[in-house]
Amino acid sequence: MPRPQPASQHTVRRHNSALVLDAIADAPGSSRAAVAARTGLTKATVSSLVDRMIGADLVAEGGAQTRSGPGRRGTALHLSPTGPHGLGVEIGVDYLATCLVDLTGRVRARWLRHSDNRDSSPARVLAKVASAVRTAAREDVPIGGVGVAVPGLVEVAGGTLRVAPNLGWREVDVRGELTRRVSLDVPVLVGNEANLAALAELWHGDVSDDFVHISGEIGIGAGIVVGGRLFEGVSGFGGELGHLSVDPRGPECGCGSRGCLERLAGQDPIVRAAGVPGVEELLAALAAGDRAATAAVRTAAKWLGVALAGTVNLLDLPTVVLGGTYARLEPWLRGPLRAELDRRVVSAEWSPVRVVASSLGAEAAVRGAAGSAVRAILADPDPYVTAALA
């Protein structure tokens, strides 16, 4: 058995840079001495790493300080608000969203435009995405990475979208196409929108470490978080709640199956049953107590309850987060959904399921995409620092 090699100077610096930055992100306002105490590194090592990270504008000095005391070592450290930003893009079925977040995940700017991507070729949509990325990149902040959320199965390592039934796309090299169209010399991550939305909920929402987040839009996806980590399955294809067949002899679905949840409880069947043209009109009708609208949402809630009861029976998760359009429909969904869960979850009596609306709503996926880009830098800052100082 070969022994583990001694860590090289570079490996050690890489590891320690991540430790130090994590300590600063976790306790903004810490002094160098506090970071040293927390990480177990010497003050000299911390100071040298912090100086490099200040040089690369990952870390900034000043502002609120957690401990008083005179001298240079007492200066408060925090993630730099002018440092690298994450640029998030979401390719929705009927919209394109972009946003810029700083290292702390705070939104600096966001854009949303209607775009019927169902009726467009991948090339046409990716040209729009490239244009949206260029617009965002014109903001006066450095871009540290791009995250792209797509409504389908993603081969994450290669950045390829395998299939997106609601877009009618197959085998689209999203990363490659985007890199070709926009000359940004930064990493591009591609991920499933429901998974990225669940991560945003984990980072910014008011939930604990175990939940399923449902992105309910035209398509329905789930992001499963267990022990504070995304559960994606062996190939990253998990969470396809929208294609849980809740009525096996029900209507055909673009995926090839029948009676999939999104054919019965997605945005399209709800507005159709309510007899309104879109979500805004649906919400107005619900607020006015319209009978057809209320019945349409109630029916969707029952199907959603069947699918979520199945999910909880399999995974025993304590919390369901309603995201996307479902977050806005939550006041009308909650009652009938709860009733189905109480009736169909075997363990409901001993392990009751909490149903909450996402605080991020339809914005979760693009926040997750942008956040993933900055978290990639926070998790391993040294390559970014080395490039910035070169």
Among 44, 139, 351, 379, binds its own copies (CB under 8 A): 351
In the complex with its own copies, the residue whose CB is nearer, 21 or 246, is 246
In the complex with its own copies, the residue whose CB is nearer, 173 or 210, is 210
Candidate ranges 126-134, 267-275, 310-318, 364-372; the one touching its own copies (CB under 8 A): 310-318
In the complex with its own copies, the residue whose CB is nearer, 248 or 289, is 248
Q: Distance (Å, rounded) from C-alpha 98 to C-alpha 113?
A: 9
Q: Distance (Å, rounded) from C-alpha 84 to C-alpha 101?
A: 9
Q: Distance (Å, rounded) from C-alpha 30 to C-alpha 40?
A: 14
Candidate ranges 75-83, 195-203, 346-354, 378-386; the one touching its own copies (CB under 8 A): 346-354
Does residue 347 touch its own copies according to CB under 8 A? Answer: yes
Q: Distance (Å, rounded) from C-alpha 97 to C-alpha 354?
A: 29
Question: CB of 112: closest distance to its own copies in angstroms?
Answer: 27
Candidate ranges 73-81, 96-104, 132-140, 244-252; the one touching its own copies (CB under 8 A): 244-252
* Span between the terminal Cα atoms of the chain, in Å: 39
Among 9, 140, 350, 390, binds its own copies (CB under 8 A): 350
Does residue 162 touch its own copies according to CB under 8 A? Answer: yes
Asked if residue 186 lies in contact with residue 167, where contact means CB atoms within 8 angstroms, the answer is: no
Question: CB of 48: closest distance to its own copies in angstroms?
Answer: 24
Q: Distance (Å, rounded) from C-alpha 39 to C-alpha 238?
A: 36
Number of residues that bind its own copies (CB under 8 A): 49
- Assign residue 59 a region (left: φ > 0; alpha: ψ between -120 and 50; beta: otherwise): beta
- Assign residue 171 a region (left: φ > 0; alpha: ψ between -120 and 50; beta: otherwise): left
Among 140, 185, 206, 349, binds its own copies (CB under 8 A): 349
Does residue 174 touch its own copies according to CB under 8 A? Answer: no
Does residue 233 touch its own copies according to CB under 8 A? Answer: yes
Candidate ranges 121-129, 131-139, 155-163, 268-276; the one touching its own copies (CB under 8 A): 155-163
In the complex with its own copies, the residue whose CB is nearer, 102 or 340, is 340
In the complex with its own copies, the residue whose CB is nearer, 97 or 306, is 306
Among 223, 239, 336, 371, binds its own copies (CB under 8 A): 239
Among 232, 262, 330, 382, binds its own copies (CB under 8 A): 232
Q: Distance (Å, rounded) from C-alpha 194 to C-alpha 323?
A: 9
Phi and psi for 125 in degrees, rounded to 5? -65, -40
Does residue 201 touch its own copies according to CB under 8 A? Answer: no
DSSP letter at 319?
E
Asked if residue 348 lies in contact with residue 341, where contact means CB atoms within 8 angstroms, the answer is: yes
Candidate ranges 8-16, 60-68, 252-260, 358-366; the one touching its own copies (CB under 8 A): 252-260
Asked if residue 200 lies in contact with residue 364, where contact means CB atoms within 8 angstroms, the answer is: yes
DSSP letter at 2?
P
- For the chain, how many residues are written? 390
Does residue 310 touch its own copies according to CB under 8 A? Answer: yes
In the complex with its own copies, the residue whose CB is nearer, 80 or 166, is 166
Does residue 121 touch its own copies according to CB under 8 A? Answer: no
Give SS3 for 188.
Answer: strand
Candidate ranges 27-35, 95-103, 281-289, 316-324; the one touching its own copies (CB under 8 A): 316-324
Characterize the bridge pairing of strands 85-91 and 143-150.
Answer: parallel
Q: Which two tokens stand for residue 222?
A: 């789930």
In the complex with its own copies, the residue whose CB is nearer, 121 or 347, is 347
DSSP letter at 390?
-
Does residue 214 touch its own copies according to CB under 8 A? Answer: no
**DSSP codes, 356-383:** EE-SSGGGHHHHHHHHHHHHHHHHSHHH
The amino acid occupying position 276 is V
Asked if residue 41 lies in contact with residue 19, where contact means CB atoms within 8 angstroms, the answer is: yes
Q: Distance (Å, rounded) from C-alpha 116 to C-alpha 119?
A: 6
Candidate ranges 81-89, 139-147, 249-257, 361-369; the one touching its own copies (CB under 8 A): 249-257
Does residue 22 touch its own copies according to CB under 8 A? Answer: no
Residues in touch with its own copies (CB under 8 A): 153, 155, 162-163, 165, 210, 222, 224, 226, 231-241, 243-248, 255-258, 302-303, 306, 309-311, 313-318, 343-344, 346-347, 349-351
